[in-house]
Amino acid sequence: MSEKAPLVQLRAVDRHFLLGDQTVKALDQVTLDIHAGDYISVMGPSGSGKSTLLNILGLLDQPSGGEYVLDGQETSGMSEVQRAAYRQREIGFVFQAYHLIPRLSARANMELPLMLAGYPAKQRAERVEPLLQRLGLQARASHLPRQLSGGERQRVAIGRAMAMHPKMLLADEPTGNLDTRSGAEVVALLEELNRDGITLIVVTHDIELGKRAPRQIKMVDGKIAKDLILTAKAHPA
Amino acid sequence: MMRWLDMAQFNLRLILKHRFRTSMVLLALIIGVSAVNLMIGLGEGARLFVLGEFSFLGKNTLIVMPGKKETTGGMPPITGASPRDLTLQDSEAIARLPAVKRMAPLVVGLAELSYQGRVRESIVVGTHADFQFIRQLSLRQGRFLPASELHLAQAIAVIGPTLKRELFGPEPALGRWLRAGDRRFRVIGVLESKGVALGMDFDEVMLVPVASAQTLFNQQGLFRVFAEVRAFGRVEATRAQVIQVIKARHDHEEDITVITQDAMLSAFNDILKTITLGVAGIAAISLLVAGVLIMNVMLISVSQRTAEIGLLQALGANQRVLLQLFLSEALILGLLGSVLGLLLSEVVLAVGRFYFPAMPLHSPLWAKVAALGVALTTALLFAYLPARRAARMEPVAALNEEKGV
C-alpha cells in the first residue's frame, strides 16, 4: 500500500434518508481509506448501502454526517459547480443499465463527457479513436445503442467513463445485465484499466466477481461488516 | 464549458428524433408568428392605402373652411352653415399674404349638363388657374382656366375625360358649347384621367371660373380656399396669419377653420396605427398559446429524459449547463418556428399584393423583429420552468428513475 495520503478518506460518514416518519440509515458511521490505484469490490445484500457508498464516493450524493476528504479536499465545502467539475475530470461511472443516450452513436456517446467539457471535435476524436480500438469497437462506432449487444453497450459505457482519463472508476453492478461471457470480458477490461493505474471500485452482487478484487468490503445495514485485504500472493488473477 | 455549436447539434438531434412533438410546437409557433406579421402587414397596407388616398394635396397646402371647429384634426365641418361666408375678397386677402405662393378658391355644386340632347348630372367646381397646380391636374387637350381677374364670370369650362366621352362621344369637345343649368359654357380644355381621390372623381367634373360658378349656383360664399405656402417650414406661421387676416375682415371673430393636410393625415394615421397594433396584439395571444404548448412539451421531455439528465450530471454537467441545454432547445424551436412563420406570412402578403395591387401589403421590418422577439421570449419564458426542473434534479434520483438502454 502506498505511503502517500489516501485518495479517499471517509471518516464516520452517515447517510440518512427519511422514509415516511422513519429514518433509514443507508450509511452508518463508515470509515474507509482508499488509495490511488486500489482495486476494491463492495459486496453485500440489497439495501446494505453499497450503492449509497458509491454515490457518495462519486460526489453524486452528500453525507448526512461525518467527513469525506477526496484528493486532499474536504467535500462538504465544495459547491455544486465544483463537485460537477471534479466528477467531470476525475471520476468515471459505469452503470448496470449502461445509461447510453439512445439517439447518439457509440462514438458520440463516448465523446459525450468531452463534449460537455468543451473539447473541440478534433480533440474528441483524438481521445476516442484509441479507446474504440482498445475496446474492439471500431466497427461498431457508428451504431446506435439499440444496434449493439449488451456486452458492446457496456464497453461503450466504459469507453465513455475513460474518455476524460479519470483517477477513479466507479462501477455499479457492471456485469449485472450481461451473460457470463460478456461479463467476463467487461471484468477483464476493468481490471486491465486498473493495472494501468486507475482506482477501481466495483459494487456487485456477484461473489465470483467480488472475490477477484485484492480488497473486498462487505456491507451489512449501512456498516462495513468486513474489510478483507489480500496480499499480493493471494491475488487470484 | 460546453460549446454552443455542440449544444445546438445535440439539441437538433433531439428535435429531429421527436418529429411529432417538434412539428406540433413548430405549427403553434408558425401560426402565432405569421398571424402577428400578417396582421401588421394588413394593417400597414390599409394605413398606407388610406394615406395615399388622402394625400392628394402637396405637403404645404392649407385648407381654409368657413365655420369654426374647436378641435384640430378629424373631419372638417362639411355641412353646418356658418354665420358668415368666406368671400372671394377674403380669398384675395389670403393670396396677398407674402408667404402664400398660390391660392385657389372653391365653389362646388351639382348641375345638369347637356350637349345635343345628351344629359348628364355632374359636379361643377368653380375655381381658378392655380387650382391646376395645387391639385396637380394635367390636360389632355386645350388649356386650363386662365389666370384672369377672379371676379370675371367667363363662360368657359374644362371637363374631365369621362364627362367628355359621355357628352361628346368621339366628337371633339374643344370649342363646343355645352349647357349647365340655365347657362352655356365653351369647352376650352379636357383633363387627363386622374382617378378618384378622396371622393372626388376629376374624370367626371366640370371646372369653371369661380365667379361663373357663383352665378350658376347663385351662391356668394366659398366652399373652400386652398393656399399653397412657399416653404414647408412656414406652414404653421402662415396658418396663423391666414386666421388673423380673416379675423380682421370678419369683425374680429374667428369664424374659419384652417387645417393642413398633415393634421388631417396624422389623425387618420393615429387611428389606423392603433387599430394595427390592437389587431397585432390579439394575434400575439396565439403566441402565448404556443408558449403553453412549449412548456407542456418540455415538461414531458424532462420527465422522459430523467435518466439522461442524471447521466449528464454524472458526466459533469452542472445546473447551469443543464439549464442552458434545455433553454437552447426551446430557443432552436423558437427560431425555427419564427423563421418558418415569417416566411409563410410573407408568402401570403405577396399573394395578397398580386391580387390587390392597389394595397401596399408590406409588413415593416419592426413587425418582423417584434414577431421574432415575442416568439423567442415566449419560448424561453415558458421553457424556463421545465428547464429549471431538469437542472435541479438530484443526480442519484434521476439516475435511478428508469433504466437506460
Burial status of residue B335 (CB atoms within 10 A of its CB: 0-12, 13-18, 19 or more):
middle
B196 falls in which pLDDT band (50, 70, 90)?
Answer: low
Side-chain half-sphere CA neighbours of A222 within 13 A: 16
DSSP string of B179-200? EETTEEEEEEEEEPP--EETTE
Label residue B403 by pLDDT band (50, 70, 90).
Answer: very low
Residue B405 predicted with pLDDT over 50: no
Q: What's the gap in Å between the CA of A109 and the closest CA on chain B?
A: 11
Say if the Cβ atoms of A160 and B17 lie within 8 Å: no
Which residues in chain B have their CB less than 8 angstroms from residue A81's CB? 318-320
Q: How confident is the model at residue B231 (pLDDT cuts 50, 70, 90)?
A: confident
- Is the overall model pTM greater than 0.95, yes or no? no
A234 touches chain B (CB under 8 A): no
A55 touches chain B (CB under 8 A): yes
Is residue B252 scored above 90 in pLDDT?
A: no
B1 chain-A contacts, CB cut-off 8 A: 118
Q: What angle do CA A6, A7, A12 make, to 5 degrees?
A: 75
Residue B6: its chain A contacts at CB < 8 A?
115
- Report, as an integer, the average pLDDT of B1-27: 90
pLDDT band at B255 (very low <50, low <70, confident <90, very high): confident
Positive or negative, the Cα torsion across A179, A180, A185, A188? positive
pLDDT at B206: 94
Contact criterion met (CB < 8 Å) for B317 and A116: yes
Confidence label for B70 from pLDDT (cuts 50, 70 and 90): low
The interface predicted TM-score (ipTM) is 0.92
Q: How far apart are CA B375 and CA B342, in angstroms?
A: 11
B2 near A CB under 8 A = yes
Closest CA to B374 of B119, B71, B40, B22: B40
* Model confidence at A94: pLDDT above 50: yes
Confirm if A117 and B316 have CB atoms less than 8 A apart: yes
Q: How far apart are the C-alpha atoms of A35 and A4, rounded to whole Å?
A: 8
Q: What mean pLDDT do residues B267-291 have?
A: 86
Helix (H, G, I), strand (E, B) or coil at B122: strand
CA distances (Å), A22 to each of A17, A135, B257, B350, in order? 8, 46, 89, 70
Q: How far apart are CA B160 and CA B204, in angstroms?
A: 5
Residue B198 has pLDDT above 60, yes or no: no
> Averaging pLDDT over each range in B56-70, B276-290, B299-313, which range is the top one?
B299-313
Nearest chain B residue to A105, by CA: B13
- Between A and B, how many residue pairs show a Cβ–Cβ distance under 8 A? 84
Q: Do A87 and B316 touch (CB under 8 A)?
A: yes
Whether the Cβ atoms of residue A93 and residue A161 lie closer than 8 Å to each other: yes
Give the mean pLDDT of A6-16. 95
List residues bridging with B201 in a β-sheet. Answer: B196
**Locus of grid cell 397646402:** B61
Minimal Cα distance from B311: which residue of A?
Answer: A99
pLDDT of residue B301: 87
Report yes or no: A84 at the B interface, CB cutoff 8 Å: yes
d(CA B113, CA A31): 116
Q: Select from A90, A109, A116 the residue whose CB has the most chain B CBs within 10 Å, as the one to mutate to test that interface.
A: A116
Is A84–B311 a contact, with Cβ atoms under 8 angstroms apart?
A: no
Secondary structure element (H or E) that encloses residue B201, with its range:
strand B200-201
Kindly state whether A69 is in contact with chain B, defined as any CB-CB distance less than 8 angstroms.
Answer: no
Q: Do B315 and A120 touch (CB under 8 A)?
A: no
Give me B92's grid cell.
384675395
User: Looking at the complex, does the CB of residue A237 fall below 8 Å from at least one CB of chain B?
Assistant: no
